[in-house]
Amino acid sequence: MESIAKVVAFELKNVHYGIDIQHVISIEKVQRITEIPNTSKFVKGVIKLRGEVTPLVDLRERLHLGETDYSDHTKIIVVNLHNRQVGLIVDSADDVMDIDSSIIDKNNKWFGGIDKEYIKGIAKLDDHLLILLDIEQLLHSEEISEVIEEGSEK
């Protein structure tokens, strides 16, 4: 019996990505962002979400895919990481998908410009590929830890 993974699918620069739903708290519209000085370029600032200060990471910039202008389609995927909320800014968030593990290619030797440790695999769907990101690796950095610690002190 094959295992099934549930992922939240989203887009960055017209490429489809997914993260494991077990980390996802909600999907929100972009709201006013309070910038934090002296942080990495991909850390856009913080928002107050349901009474909690939530740091925001622009995934396009985190993955070195370039900058973007935010639009009505831009979303924030709020994830739980080490018992803290972190918002991931994406071009658009599609929906929740069930992915059969038998269609996931975990051979990451050809993933190009994205750091290989950020990728769990690629799901080969009928009409497109879905790059599955390892959110714990992606958000495991000193820059983000600093923002989480600063945000929790406010």
How many structural domains are present in the chain? 1
For residue 73, the model assigns a pLDDT of: 93
Q: Tens digit of pLDDT for each residue in 79-124? A: 988 778 899 999 999 789 999 888 888 776 555 556 677 888 888 8
For residue 154, the model assigns a pLDDT of: 46
SS (H, E, C) 63-82: CCCCCCCCCCCCEEEEEEEC
Counting residues of the chain whose pLDDT is more than 70, the rounded percentage is: 83
- CATH of residue 37: 2.40.50.180
Strand residues in the chain grouped as ranges (E): 4-12, 15-20, 24-29, 43-49, 52-58, 75-81, 84-90, 92-100, 104-105, 119-124, 129-133
* Residue closest to 62 by CA, chosen among 19, 109, 7: 19
- Asked if 30 and 75 count as a contact pair (C-beta separation under 8 A), the reply is yes
Instruction: Give the confidence band of 69 by pLDDT, cuts at 50, 70, 90.
Output: confident
What domain range includes position 145? 4-153
